[in-house]
Amino acid sequence: MELILSAGIGALAASGIYLLLRPRTYQVVIGLSLLSYAVNLFIFSMGRLRVNAPPVLEPGGVGDLLRYTDPVPQALVLTAIVIGFAMTALFLVVLLVSRGFTGTDHVDGREPPRGD
Amino acid sequence: MTDWLHHLLILPVLLPLAVAAVLIPIDERDRTLKGAIGFASTLIVFIVTMILMRLAAAGEGSPPGAGVYQLGNWPAPFGIVLVLDRLSALMLCLASGLALAAQVYSMARWHTAGHHFHSLFQLLVAGLNGAFLTGDLFNLFVFFEMMLAASYGLLLHGSGPLRVKAGLHYVAINLAASSLFLIGVSLIYGATGTLNMAHLAAKLATLAPESRRLVETGAAVLGVAFLVKAGMWPLSFWLPTAYAAATPPVAAVFAILTKVGIYVILRLHMLVFGTAAGASAGFGQDWLLTGGMLTISFGTIGVLASQAMGRLAAYSVLVSSGTLLAAIGLGRPEMLAGALLYLVSSTLTIAAFFLLIELVERGRDAGADVLAVTMEAYGDFDEDEEEEEVGVAIPGTIAILGLCFCLCAVLLSGLPPLSGFIAKFALLRGLFDLPAANQASAISTADWTYVALLILSGLAAMIAMNRVGIRTFWASIEGTIPRVVVIEITPVAVLLGACVFLSLQAGPAMRYMQATADDLLAPLVHSERVLSAPRAGGQ
């Protein structure tokens, strides 16, 4: 499981960074989204990977704490997801405004000269 | 501390947040009303931060738990705490003072340039104050994002292709930096099991070596996120364009945004990797030093090469950041107080300069600067134009603007007698102030390089400001005289006046900075204070 998760985070982060460095604004948005997925999974994994372990206390007493998984990273992930989502939405708006002003979806607002 | 005073600590965050929400439904046509409510809020926050600064300065005699505000009344490592100490009080005061000046300035005309200016502004103030107050790493992320979200809106305020382009880059780079922030925070949590900064500081010395490596990695990743914000050299290419494109009141508050990065680096560096960190003490110092010096060099070249005043100011931001980062990187405890004074002085100056630029440039052609520099380069002066008049009457507005400009130039370049000089002098004095035992041998090449860069950057600022000043105030009397409203020039005068006040009261100011530096050098006292704070209302 550790291998699959780390490979997944790596693949997401690598594609995210690749797309982030591309010249089209839409690619940048997707790149940022992928990067934030990778980061969210990474935060999640920092609470250690556990299967079948609840993050909230079960009814009827605390019992053995070893049966639970760490709830803090899950709370952090939730916050990070919400903030990341909002920021991506905001970025999309800026992207559209830029497209409206310049008529191109290049990140610098103008097409590079042809034939490069 | 009475109950009432204790709750004052949360007000700089809560009040602007509430006011921002209240302002949204008010119709955009009632700008005066919106402005008045926003102004009242910022003014109250400013007064509160002044009170908080007095409380923090009172320091030692206060009861345990003073200055530690437990949100939800959970004690420190479990709940989130807001911590007030001398450093955070200083930053709060600086931020809200700048915000007040920028807001008054904006009410002359800039708040009409787009929608919801005052709401965004209040959100920015809330985020800034929260970032300075919080004692929890993840909470810092939340306040940081709040501040950034508001700053995206404010940078785009006024719209136009140039701002949108700069905004697009600004948003993209900050989103990427936020990802790094999260990676850093979660690595630190994964290795230590805590997010509370004070707890982290207390825990680090006892960590196993392999966990320590992880914490250091996390701190390095986290550091990159803040260095992007602070504008350290290879991470700072976005900054001049964005700052020069922002509307003047926004650019003025943005001057403190880079200092948030510096603040967090200083805070974490001193608290977590300070004297109590054991093997990790001084982690990353070399990077800060090298990066800081490169930033000064880059900023200095930028200052000299700038044709427009906006870019000159933006590069001055970089010089200021670099000076502070390198000062932290040198790791001399004696330099800290000087660095803090420099932080305050340079932030006030640059903010005033950003506000002033637009007033000065109002009566001029947009392309005039570029043209003038090009003409200088090719030596194409129109010399055959005979001046018949013996003297030219200088209009009053120009005289006042020119005086403010001169003050800015003196402060930026660090000439005596103003606070820019005092701060740089304090920095250099701290550098040479060695214990008697190891004279001369202990001043290394890095130290000398820093001294040279600090002085050269001042010289470059002087040259650039002279050039711009002569071109603006002496050469173009025939141009239209800018129309300046009183509420536009007052904030500039007040910010510069604050620098003059800082120069006159340099003694008390330095004592406060020295006390702040002493606090920073005793990280375990700080952690003890945060962790042992009792819950409100008894146990």
Domain range annotation of chain B: 133-379+394-435+445-529
Average pLDDT over residues B158-166: 83
| Sign, Cα dihedral of B332, B234, B251, B144 | negative
More confident residue, B294 or B533: B294
Closest alpha carbon within chain A to B79: A72
Whether B390 has a pLDDT exceeding 60, the answer reads no
pLDDT in the model for residue B310? 87
Torsion angles phi and psi, residue B136, rounded to 5: -125, 135
All residues of chain A having their beta carbon less than 8 Å from the beta carbon of residue B114 are: none
**Which residues lie across from B70 on neighbouring strands?**
B81
| Sign, Cα dihedral of B234, B235, B237, B239 | negative
Rounded Cα–Cα distance for residues B347 and B298 (Å): 19
Q: Which among A28, A43, A84 has the least Cβ separation from residue B172? A: A28
pLDDT tens readout for residues B125-148:
999 999 999 988 889 999 999 999
- Residue B315 makes CB contacts below 8 A (sequence gap 6+) with B240, B299, B300, B302, B303, B306
pLDDT in the model for residue B437? 54
Average pLDDT over residues B37-59: 88
Closest alpha carbon within chain A to B144: A83
Q: What is the mean pLDDT of chain B?
A: 84
Whether B18 has a pLDDT exceeding 90, the answer reads yes
Residue B384 confidence class, pLDDT cut points 50, 70, 90:
very low
Whether B181 has a pLDDT exceeding 90, the answer reads yes
Give the single-character DSSP code of B136. B
pLDDT tens readout for residues B411-423:
988 888 888 899 9
A63 backbone φψ class: left, alpha, beta (φ>0; ψ -120 to 50): left
Residue B393 confidence class, pLDDT cut points 50, 70, 90:
low
- Which of B182, B189, B196 is most worth mutating to test chain A (most A CB atoms within 10 A of its CB)? B182
Residue B180 confidence class, pLDDT cut points 50, 70, 90:
very high
Average pLDDT over residues A86-97: 89
**What DSSP assignment string belongs to B289-342?**
HHHHHHHHHHHHHHHHH--SHHHHHHHHHHHHHHHHHHHHHHT-GGGHHHHHHH
pLDDT tens readout for residues B440-457:
556 788 888 888 999 999
pLDDT in the model for residue B324? 92
- Residue B484 makes CB contacts below 8 A (sequence gap 6+) with B359, B362, B397, B400, B401
pLDDT in the model for residue B377? 58
pLDDT in the model for residue B483? 74
pLDDT tens readout for residues B257-298:
999 999 999 988 888 887 766 677 778 888 889 999 999 999
Whether B60 has a pLDDT exceeding 60, the answer reads no
Which ipTM score applies to this complex?
A: 0.92
pLDDT tens readout for residues B297-335:
999 999 999 888 888 999 999 999 999 999 988 888 888
pLDDT tens readout for residues B463-501:
999 988 888 877 655 556 677 777 888 888 899 999 999
B138 in contact with chain A, both atoms CB, cutoff 8 A: yes
Q: Which among B149, B160, B186 has the least Cβ separation from residue A42? A: B186
pLDDT in the model for residue B386? 46
Torsion angles phi and psi, residue B70, rounded to 5: -90, 115
Q: Beta strands B68-70 and B81-83: pairing type?
A: antiparallel
Whether B401 has a pLDDT exceeding 50, the answer reads yes
What is the enclosing helix (H) or strand (E) of B83?
Answer: strand B81-83
pLDDT in the model for residue B248? 87
More confident residue, B436 or B517: B517
All residues of chain B having their beta carbon less than 8 Å from the beta carbon of residue A38 are: 179
Rounded Cα–Cα distance for residues B400 and B406 (Å): 10
Separation in Å, CA of B256 to nearest CA in chain A:
22
Residue B366 confidence class, pLDDT cut points 50, 70, 90:
low
pLDDT in the model for residue B539? 44
Residue B391 confidence class, pLDDT cut points 50, 70, 90:
low
pLDDT in the model for residue B41? 92
Domain range annotation of chain A: 2-52+65-102
DSSP reduced 3-state for B70:
strand
Amino acid present at A41: L
What is the enclosing helix (H) or strand (E) of B454?
Answer: helix B445-469
> Which of B20-34, B90-104, B500-514 has the least mean pLDDT?
B20-34
Separation in Å, CA of A60 to nearest CA in chain B:
23
pLDDT in the model for residue B399? 82
More confident residue, B204 or B338: B338
Separation in Å, CA of B179 to nearest CA in chain A:
6
* Spatial contact of B105 and B252, defined as CB atoms under 8 Å apart: yes
Residue B362 confidence class, pLDDT cut points 50, 70, 90:
confident
- Which of B164, B195, B224 is most worth mutating to test chain A (most A CB atoms within 10 A of its CB)? B164
Q: Which among A48, A86, A94 has the least Cβ separation from residue B167? A: A94
